[in-house]
Amino acid sequence: MTLGFPSPEFDAALAAVCHGAATEEEMRALNVLLRHDTSARDEYLMRVELHSRLASEPGVFDLPEARPRFTRAPICAPLPDARRRRQFQYGAVVLAASVTLLAGGWWGLRAWRQGERPGATRAAVAMLTRVVEARWVQGQEPPRVGSALSPGSLRLESGLAQVVFYSGARVVMEGPAELRLVSPGEAICPTGRLLAEVPRPARGFRLNTDQLSVVDLGTAFGVDATPGRTEVHVFSGKVELHPGTASKQPLGEGKAVVVQDTAPPRPMAASPAAFASMFAFQQRSLASEAFRYEQWQFANARLRQDPTLLVHLDFEHLSGTDWTLPNAADQNPSVPEATVVGCQRTEGRWREKQALEFQSVNDRVRLVVPGEFEALTLAAWVRVSGLERQFNSLFMSDAFEPGTIHWLIRRDGVLGLTVFGSEPGRFQILASPPVITPDALGVWLHLAAVLDGKARRAVHYVNGEPVSRHALRQGPPYRLGPVELGNWNAHGDPTRAPHLVRNLSGALDEFTLFSRALTDGEIRALHAAGQTQPHP
């Protein structure tokens, strides 16, 4: 038997697998197809996941008075034949609906699955790579280090900031200054002082002021622009000047011009001293980062004294031979350490700090958190490399035991927190809007989730700000037990089905777990203490 994709035979074989009725011939044919066809594998994972979700809600298609009670977990291991037959009899309505969806609605579901994901990216042209004591003009959202920058204005009130254009040109601006991003190869400086370094691949980069345009020919040059006046200083290589009222002219190394209103360019000597702060930007940036790292260490020393801090994994002083992580929460001896399985050591938020990178399906950090809790707060610094799976694990309890939680990122960038109720089969999925967009990939993000059983509320946070609030139906007590960071042990499912693989592709720099519900202000302070640069 040979299966093709897409085809009715593929639909029938997959439906048979979901119902435990597939023949050996169908299984062999399906395995051959899935090993060689990535599209078929994606479709298989999506359909099995949907089937599992439908089967986990036994009364979803029943009338209230006819709804049977189930005790199954949302995704469970295959049952013995006799018990499976009894469960299938009770769940006939649900499974029949699953067959209908599996056989007839897949193209619509495919469109839905693709439509829920955010766009490919914004029309970004540059990125903000470093800042030193930067204070941005009030009224605009302060850009974050590492973030992508779309066309528009950057208004720096004071300090220094480095912008790297996608063409390769690097511009350091000193406040007060305004830089308008036009494209990967063009910008406008209405006012302010800046230093541009343009390597050969970015040759032709254009910087405009009110008086003229500077076209780079592979050089380093400075611009000092004020209303009605522009200075251009060339420190290496040469540029081409395009004054508004005169023909273009070259300007070589060590030379400078000043243009006043509509007058012709007037020669002057280049002055490196006028741009000394920008020439020293790299050194000042490294010193600023080191100072922030020390500030974070002092903040951590205070944080460790919090009696409600259950777990604090700071990933400090890791070596290639370390396989345990000490719990830095001084007031909680019940969780002495965590175990590292796989994982690569990598640079953290600062050059001096380390982090753990999760790449393969084996990489994970395991720990055991005993006890029962009325509230929980989880927070982590995460750098997401990609959302390759339908579910990408952050912090997840083993299996689906009552009172446990699963914290993850969906493929569409949604933050998900699943809370399992006190009775088997009862759970609540608390999902944020899509917040992990393509532009957020590769950038350190502070993610947090608060579970308040007493107030019956849950909140998702990104970089210190709430992104969604939810009414909580599943009350305490909450239990964690054996848990994993960056992966998930699908305990209780001996088949190890592909849709249960939920490893993270990215890095973790710090993880904290509290036995109480932190307030908005406390989450904001936790994020501020861990930022690579202070927030204005």
pLDDT at 156: 92
Nearest CA among 195, 191, 164 for reference residue 178: 191
End-to-end CA distance of the chain: 66
Q: Which long-range contacts (CB under 8 A, 24 or more apart) does 317-321 make?
A: 317/354, 318/345, 318/354, 318/356, 319/345, 320/345
Residue for token pair 């020669």: 267
Within 330-374, strands assigned E span 337-341, 344-347, 354-358, 364-373
β-bridge mates for residue 180, sequence order: 153, 188
- Size of the chain, expressed as the number of residues it contains: 536
Distance CA 88, CA 96 (A): 10
**What confidence score (pLDDT) does residue 436 get?**
92
- Quick one: fold of 126-279? Jelly Rolls (2.60.120)
Kindly report, residue by residue over 314-345, the tens digit of the pLDDT. 888 776 667 888 888 888 888 888 889 888 88
Q: What is the pLDDT of residue 270?
A: 87
With CA atoms as reference, report the closest residue to 466 among 502, 509, 419, 517. Answer: 517
Residue 14's H or E segment, with its range, is helix 8-18
Architecture (CATH level 2) of domain 294-530: Sandwich (2.60)
pLDDT attached to residue 33: 82
Q: Rounded distance, CA 337 to CA 355, Å?
A: 16
Name the stretches of the chain with pLDDT < 70: 19-20, 38, 42, 48-122, 245-246, 319-321, 490-500, 534-536
Q: Exposed/middle/buried for 317, CB within 10 Å: 0-12, 13-18, 19+?
A: exposed
pLDDT at 208: 93
The domain ranges of the chain are 8-115, 126-279, 294-530
200-233 confidence digits (pLDDT tens): 888 999 999 988 899 988 889 999 999 889 999 9
